[in-house]
Every structure is written in structure tokens, then in C-alpha cells.
């Protein structure tokens, strides 16, 4: 009897203990959960792949797709999206591009540097491609630089691409007063107030030249940028335009091999005969520009001249551009051209010993010496804007007096910008601002 009672008590004890343990375990779970993070695990981000490179010579977008194993059906969809924004067949060697791909190797976006100022971006939005053009967000600074002539303007400015383009800008601004082929003298000096364009603190290129001072053979030439009616031109301190009827030369920075002469020994024929023009020695392919506004009256091959362009001007003059390797695109009889427009490229066609430009001027049918033609200035600053122009020139002259000008050939010259107090009075308007005002 006692054994049975003991057995029952033992079973009852074990059952009670089991129930208590279950209850304790159930209570323990909510306590544990209080210490567990209730924040759901973050969604896994789809893997991406980036392809970055530069356009190579002969590249097309199709060849780039094949090279990287991309789907050609996406190529056609991208071309359609970009057709009215920027045709994708217009790819320039050296320009950067990049693709962003998803984990299925499908294109999320395509970016291409159209030029130094504009980016094309094509993005997949709602399973369709959309294309947009964006301006590169440059930081604009004003920098002051100087230099001196040892041999020519290009070597005085520097060997870099942006330095070369700066030299071309200076030459274009002063081209009506200084022939950079013949007029430069060793020791000539120049100072430039220019716009520097920076990206993420790094200098990328020069922008506008606000003013330039050039001392050539003891004579001072100063040019000021002024914009009105949506046009930007350069003027002297009195507000007179630097634009003349004719440029002093149809190309920049090249040596003259033969001057205008009534009796010159011809290098090919070895006989003496008149040379009614100037020969500019330059590498084949050097661009040749129209020296004044006019209309093309001849464009083609003409005997000893080889490939020739003749332009008639409103003042009765004609200009000849001979021995060209080829004509510029769109140059034909009846074409109207502006001063500085490209008309062709230096060559050695016709009766020529080597690459050079034969430049000739005529009044009616009579040849004239281009170096002795008197130029007539363009339109001055309008009277209604003279006060605004004067305010700008005074501010720029203060900069010429007070600012430090750094040697343009030194790399750190681009690291300096003007003290804000110096440029406080000079806030050059953009073209858009002038149009609004």
C-alpha cells in the first residue's frame, strides 16, 4: 500500500515538474525576443557592374557593344531614345564613356562626354530608355597670367592642349592688329585676365578671356571683352571694335616663305615672274580661315593654284587661298562666309614645292599687297552702353594694376585666383544675362 502511494506521489511530482518547465520555457521566449532586433533585414541590393573607357579610333557603338558582350537590342533602343538629343553615331575618339549594368548584364545607364562642356546620359526608367544632355558643372574662377615671347606665342604660353587653345584665343582677339607670323619680337610681353574652369578643384580648361594686354615691339595693345545683343566682341579702351575689314593673316603662327613681289624667282619653274601674294609655310592640314566676310565665287581646282577658294568682299576686294590640300566641308560657289570661317586646309596642290598657303588679294582685277591694305574698324560699343562698358574697363584696369600675374608656363599658375575684393567691381555678365537685360 505504502509503495503504491509513493509511486503515485512520484508520478504526480514528475508531472507537476514537467508542467512548470513548459510554463517557464513559454515565459522565457518573449523575454528573449525583447533583446532581438525587430528591424527587418535590409533588402539585398542588386549587384552592378561598371564599364568605363574612352572611344578609340574607328569605334562605333556597335563595336563597343560587341567588345563588352552587351545586348544589341538595347543598342537600338538607346539609339532611338537619343536620336533627337545627340545621335549616337557621332562618337569622337578620346572621349570618355561608361556603362552601368545590373546583375543580368542589362544596361541601367550609359554616359558619354560629348565635348568639354556637355555630357549625354541615357538611363533606363520604367523599362524604357530616356536620354538627356547635361552641362558639366564647372566652378568658374578668374585667374591672371603673364608671359614673354622668345620665339612664338605658342611656346610662350606652354605645351599643353589648353595652353595651345589659349594662345589661339589671344591670336584671334588681336589678329586685326598683330600678325603673329611676322610682327612678333623677342621680348614682347603679354598679360591675360581669363576665366579658369575647374572640376572638383582641378583645373580643366580656360574659358573666356576678359581682357588681354600685349606689348608688341614697344606698342601696347589692350582688348576688353564686352557682350551685348547676344554677341561677344573685343574692344579697345575707347570702345572701338578690334574687328577690322580683314584679318592680318588667314592662319596663325606660321612662317612666311615668299612675300609679295613684282619679280620673284619661281622655286619650281626657275624663272623670274611676279608673285602677287604671300606664301605661308605650314604643315599639311593646317586650317585656313576667311580673312573677312564675303561670298565664295570659286571653289575647286585651278591650274597652278591647285585647290583654290576665291572670296569676294563687299568693299570690292577679292581674296585667294591657293594650294589647299582640300576644301572645308560646305565650301562652294555662292556660299556666304564670315570672317574666321574655315575655308580649307594647307596643302601642296598645283605648282608647289611643299605644303604652304598662297594668299592673295585683289581690288577688282588688280593685285595688291595684303600687308599694306588699310583696315577699317567694325562697329564700336553703342552709345547707350558706353557707361556700362566704361565701368567694366575701369574694373579690369584695377585688376591689371593690383593683381599678381603668374607665369603661364608654370603649372601652379592655375592654382591661383583673384582676391574677391579685387574682382568685386567686375562681375562679367553671361550671354544669357545680357539677353535678359
Q: Assess whether 232 and 264 both reside in one domain.
A: no
Q: Do residues 145 and 413 lie in contact, with contact meaning Cβ atoms separated by under 8 Å?
A: yes
Helix (H) or strand (E) holding 189: strand 189-199
Q: What is the pLDDT of residue 282?
A: 85
Q: Which residue bears the cell 567686375?
A: 426
Sign of the Cα torsion 227, 237, 174, 195 reads negative
Domain range holding 315?
255-372
CATH of the domain at 72: 3.10.450.350
Give the DSSP letter of residue 342. Answer: E
Q: What is the pLDDT of residue 120?
A: 94
Domains of the chain: total = 3
Please provide the DSSP assignment of 294-357 as one string. EEEEEEEE-GGG-EEEEEE-TTSEEEEEEEEEEEPTT--TT-EE-TT-EEEEEB--SS-SSSEE
Cα torsion at 230, 235, 240, 241 (round to 10°)? Answer: -60
Q: What is the pLDDT of residue 434?
A: 46
pTM above 0.85, yes or no: no
Question: Given 320, 341, 372, which residue is the final one in a domain?
Answer: 372
Q: What is the pLDDT of residue 313?
A: 86
Which of helix, strand or coil describes residue 91? coil
Q: What is the pLDDT of residue 367?
A: 87
Euclidean distance between CA atoms 165 and 390, whole angstroms: 29
Which of helix, strand or coil describes residue 235? strand
Q: Record the cell numbers describing residue 193, joined without a space.
A: 585676365
Question: Given 135, 164, 197, which residue is the final one in a domain?
Answer: 135
- Identify the CA nearest to 144 among candidates 434, 424, 429, 419: 419
Q: Is 250 domain-assigned?
A: no
Q: Assess whether 264 and 324 both reside in one domain.
A: yes
Question: Given 356, 372, 388, which residue is the final one in a domain?
Answer: 372
Q: Is 10 domain-assigned?
A: no
Q: Is 8 domain-assigned?
A: no
Q: pLDDT of the chain along its 437 residues, tens only? A: 555 555 565 555 555 555 444 444 444 444 334 333 344 444 344 447 899 999 999 899 999 999 999 998 999 999 999 999 998 888 889 899 999 999 888 999 999 999 888 999 999 998 899 999 999 999 889 999 999 999 889 899 988 889 999 998 998 899 888 878 778 999 999 999 999 999 888 999 999 999 999 999 999 999 999 988 888 899 999 999 988 778 878 886 554 444 434 444 444 434 444 557 888 888 888 899 999 888 999 999 999 999 999 999 876 789 999 999 999 999 999 999 988 899 999 999 998 888 989 999 998 888 888 877 776 667 899 999 999 999 999 999 999 998 999 999 988 888 888 865 565 555 545 444 444 44
Beta bridge partners, 232, equal: 227
Q: Is 18 domain-assigned?
A: no
Q: Is 390 domain-assigned?
A: yes
Q: Assess whether 96 and 172 both reside in one domain.
A: no
Amino acid at each position: 500500500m505504502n509503495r503504491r502511494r509513493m509511486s503515485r506521489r512520484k508520478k504526480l511530482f514528475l508531472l507537476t515538474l514537467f508542467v512548470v518547465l513548459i510554463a517557464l520555457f513559454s515565459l522565457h521566449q518573449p523575454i528573449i525576443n525583447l533583446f532581438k532586433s525587430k528591424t527587418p533585414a535590409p533588402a539585398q541590393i542588386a549587384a552592378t557592374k561598371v564599364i568605363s573607357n574612352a572611344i578609340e579610333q574607328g569605334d562605333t557603338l556597335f563595336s563597343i557593344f560587341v567588345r563588352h558582350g552587351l545586348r544589341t537590342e538595347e543598342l537600338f533602343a538607346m539609339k532611338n531614345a537619343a536620336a533627337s538629343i545627340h545621335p549616337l553615331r557621332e562618337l569622337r575618339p578620346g572621349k570618355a564613356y561608361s556603362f552601368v549594368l545590373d546583375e543580368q548584364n542589362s544596361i541601367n545607364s550609359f554616359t558619354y562626354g560629348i565635348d568639354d562642356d556637355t555630357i549625354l546620359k541615357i538611363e533606363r526608367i520604367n523599362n524604357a530608355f530616356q536620354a538627356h544632355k547635361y552641362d558639366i558643372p564647372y566652378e568658374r574662377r578668374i585667374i591672371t597670367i603673364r608671359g614673354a615671347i622668345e620665339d612664338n606665342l605658342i611656346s610662350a604660353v606652354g605645351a599643353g592642349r589648353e595652353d595651345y587653345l589659349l594662345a589661339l584665343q589671344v591670336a584671334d582677339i588681336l589678329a586685326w592688329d598683330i600678325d603673329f607670323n611676322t610682327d612678333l619680337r623677342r621680348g614682347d610681353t603679354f598679360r591675360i585676365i581669363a576665366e579658369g574652369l575647374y572640376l572638383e578643384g582641378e583645373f580643366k580648361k580656360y574659358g573666356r578671356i576678359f581682357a588681354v594686354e600685349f606689348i608688341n615691339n614697344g606698342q601696347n595693345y589692350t582688348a576688353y571683352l564686352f557682350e551685348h545683343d547676344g554677341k561677344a566682341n573685343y574692344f579697345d579702351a575707347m570702345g572701338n571694335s578690334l574687328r577690322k575689314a580683314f584679318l592680318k593673316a588667314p592662319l596663325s603662327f606660321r612662317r612666311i616663305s615668299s612675300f609679295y613681289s613684282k619679280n620673284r624667282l619661281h622655286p619650281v619653274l626657275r624663272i623670274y615672274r611676279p608673285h602677287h601674294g604671300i606664301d605661308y609655310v605650314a604643315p599639311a592640314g593646317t586650317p585656313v580661315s576667311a580673312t573677312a566676310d564675303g561670298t565664295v565665287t570659286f571653289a575647286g581646282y585651278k591650274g597652278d593654284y591647285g585647290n583654290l577658294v576665291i572670296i569676294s568682299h563687299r568693299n570690292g576686294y577679292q581674296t585667294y587661298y591657293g594650294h589647299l590640300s582640300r576644301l572645308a566641308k560646305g565650301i562652294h560657289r555662292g556660299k556666304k562666309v564670315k570672317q574666321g570661317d574655315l575655308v580649307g586646309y594647307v596643302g601642296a596642290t598645283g605648282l608647289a614645292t611643299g605644303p604652304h598657303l598662297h594668299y592673295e588679294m585683289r581690288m577688282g582685277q588688280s593685285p595688291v599687297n595684303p600687308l599694306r591694305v588699310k583696315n577699317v574698324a567694325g562697329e564700336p560699343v553703342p552709345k547707350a552702353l558706353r557707361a556700362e562698358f566704361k565701368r567694366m574697363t575701369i574694373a579690369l584696369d584695377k585688376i591689371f594694376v593690383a593683381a599678381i600675374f603668374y607665369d603661364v608656363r608654370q603649372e601652379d599658375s592655375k592654382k591661383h585666383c583673384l582676391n574677391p575684393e579685387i574682382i568685386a567691381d567686375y562681375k562679367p555678365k553671361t550671354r544669357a544675362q545680357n539677353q535678359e537685360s
